[in-house]
């Protein structure tokens, strides 16, 4: 049952991520027949906390308030990826999960859950900017870098900033039904469920090869994305046997020629969708996918969303 909710804060808390939790669980919407949560903001480091924006937050509640919560939410905070956490807070979180309480993190709040050992053997989400650091520091967990949130009940983790809204609404939908979640979303003027994952927001330029063996071929491939080429043709341009070329290509780029050119085509499609009014057929032709259907298929596989949805998200009202 989802009734008693506590948001636990540390110094350096991010106000927006705290606001997400407060907006979903901390507002009385009983005038619309929506549930009212017993909500409290809890400090793990004294009655007054600093935010990363320079102002302070004060609360009368300490860690003892976590003992009665059905849900403990952990908003993001400054330097959460590097800092050490109060042992009494880690112990309180472990006790909460042991007695059946859910815990939910927003963005870098996941580092606190990982430090408490609550993600060992579990999948989790985090802002793509922190994914590698989280995996490196806590190798027992599995980061899902492309998703908006992961539900590994009783632990729910979400990616950056607004993905916390998705995770909170998901939990409301799971516990109290889609009608409640939809009404809360409507009051917040946000979609009750977003298509795709955070893959569409990740900046992933392809790494530059440190070697010169296939460098000229890479430049040619990038300039001729609209053309169909074979490994044999690429090897001939590099004056190598096909098997030798394929091996050297893998060594220098970390991927195969097919995957390299496919990723470059998706990147070009993203640029054209964001910066031009060209039709899907024209973009498909310019990127080498051939047809709009093929473009949609590969775009969806790579980014978890469709070209049309991507254009709407990144161009807004300008998109036709």
Q: What is the per-residue pLDDT across 221-230, written as a single tens digit (0 to 9) for each?
A: 988 999 999 9
Q: Among 129, 194, 185, which Cα is nearest to 110's?
A: 129
Q: Are residues 223 and 95 in the same domain?
A: no
Of 173, 199, 225, which closes a domain? 199
55, exposed or middle or buried, with CB in 10 Å at 0-12, 13-18, 19+?
exposed
89, exposed or middle or buried, with CB in 10 Å at 0-12, 13-18, 19+?
buried
Q: Are residues 65 and 180 in the same domain?
A: yes
Q: What is the mean pLDDT of the chain?
A: 88
**Is 167 within the bounds of a domain?**
yes
Q: Are residues 181 and 232 in the same domain?
A: no
**Is 209 within the bounds of a domain?**
no
| Confidence (pLDDT) at 212 | 60
Q: Among 95, 79, 78, 73, which Cα is nearest to 21's?
A: 73
- 40 beta partners: 6
Q: Are residues 158 and 256 in the same domain?
A: no
* DSSP summary character for residue 119: T
Q: Are residues 195 and 274 in the same domain?
A: no
**Is 210 within the bounds of a domain?**
no
Q: Are residues 89 and 167 in the same domain?
A: yes
Is residue 123's pLDDT more than 80?
A: yes
**Is 111 within the bounds of a domain?**
yes
Please tell me the total count of domains within the chain.
Answer: 2
| Confidence (pLDDT) at 198 | 58
Please state whether 11 falls in left (phi above 0), alpha (psi between -120 and 50) or beta: beta
What CATH number corresponds to the domain at position 241?
1.10.10.60
What is the residue range of 249's domain?
Answer: 215-318
Spatial separation of the C-alpha atoms in residues 125 and 144, rounded to whole Å:
5
What CATH number corresponds to the domain at position 54?
3.40.50.880
Four-point Cα dihedral 169, 104, 312, 288, nearest 10: -130
Question: Going by C-beta distance under 8 Å and a sequence separation of 6 or more, which residues neighbour residue 204?
Answer: 267
**Is 13 within the bounds of a domain?**
yes
Is residue 207's pLDDT more than 80?
A: no
Q: Are residues 183 and 41 in the same domain?
A: yes
Once rounded to an integer, what is the mean pLDDT over residues 143-148?
Answer: 85
Q: Are residues 243 and 187 in the same domain?
A: no
* Low-confidence winner among 77-91, 110-124, 172-186 (lowest mean pLDDT): 172-186
| Confidence (pLDDT) at 210 | 52
- pLDDT tier, 25 (very low <50, low <70, confident <90, very high otherwise): very high
**Is 204 within the bounds of a domain?**
no
* DSSP summary character for residue 51: B
Please provide the size of the chain in residues. Answer: 320
Q: Are residues 36 and 85 in the same domain?
A: yes
- pLDDT tier, 319 (very low <50, low <70, confident <90, very high otherwise): very low
Q: Are residues 49 and 153 in the same domain?
A: yes
Q: Are residues 181 and 224 in the same domain?
A: no
Instruction: Return the ∠ at Cα 96 (arms to 94 and 97), rounded to 5°.
Output: 70
Spatial separation of the C-alpha atoms in residues 169 and 181, rounded to whole Å:
6
Q: Are residues 194 and 228 in the same domain?
A: no
CB atoms inside a 10 Å sphere around CB 11: 19
Contact criterion met (CB below 8 Å) for 215 and 204: no
- 51 beta partners: 13
Of 170, 199, 228, which closes a domain? 199
**Is 206 within the bounds of a domain?**
no
Q: What is the pLDDT of residues 251-283, one digit of tens each?
A: 888 789 998 899 889 888 988 888 888 999 999
Q: Among 165, 178, 168, 189, which Cα is nearest to 37's?
A: 168
Of 199, 229, 263, which closes a domain? 199
pTM confidence score:
0.67
Spatial separation of the C-alpha atoms in residues 74 and 72, rounded to whole Å:
7
Residue 311 token pair: 């254009």
């Amino acid at each position: 049952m989802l009734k008693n909710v506590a948001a636990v804060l540390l110094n350096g808390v991010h106000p927006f991520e705290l606001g997400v939790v407060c907006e979903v669980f901390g507002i009385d919407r009983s005038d619309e027949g929506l549930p009212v949560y017993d909500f409290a903001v809890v400090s793990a480091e004294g009655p007054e906390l600093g935010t990363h924006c320079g102002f302070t937050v004060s609360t009368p509640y300490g860690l003892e308030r976590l003992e009665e919560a059905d849900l403990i939410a952990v908003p993001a905070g400054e330097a959460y990826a590097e800092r050490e956490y109060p042992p009494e807070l880690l112990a309180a979180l472990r006790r909460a999960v042991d007695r059946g309480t859910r815990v939910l993190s927003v963005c870098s709040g996941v580092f606190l859950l990982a430090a408490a050992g609550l993600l060992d053997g579990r999948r989790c989400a985090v802002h793509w900017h922190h994914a590698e650091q989280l995996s490196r520091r806590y190798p027992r967990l599995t980061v899902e870098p492309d998703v908006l949130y992961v539900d590994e009940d009783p632990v729910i983790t979400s990616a950056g900033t607004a993905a916390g809204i998705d995770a909170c609404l998901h939990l409301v939908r799971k516990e109290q039904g889609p009608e409640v979640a939809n009404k809360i979303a409507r009051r917040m003027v946000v979609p009750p469920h977003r298509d795709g994952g955070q893959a569409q927001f990740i900046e992933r330029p392809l790494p530059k090869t440190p070697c010169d063996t296939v460098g000229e071929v890479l430049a040619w491939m990038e300039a001729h994305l609209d053309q169909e080429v074979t490994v044999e043709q690429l090897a001939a341009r590099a004056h190598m046997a096909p098997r030798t070329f394929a091996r050297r290509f893998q060594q220098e780029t970390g991927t195969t020629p097919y995957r390299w050119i496919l990723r470059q085509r998706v990147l070009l499609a993203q640029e054209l969708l964001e910066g031009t009014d060209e039709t899907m057929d024209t973009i498909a032709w310019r990127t080498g996918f051939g047809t709009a259907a093929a473009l949609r298929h590969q775009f969806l596989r790579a980014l978890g969303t469709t070209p049309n949805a991507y254009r709407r998200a990144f161009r807004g009202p300008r998109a036709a």
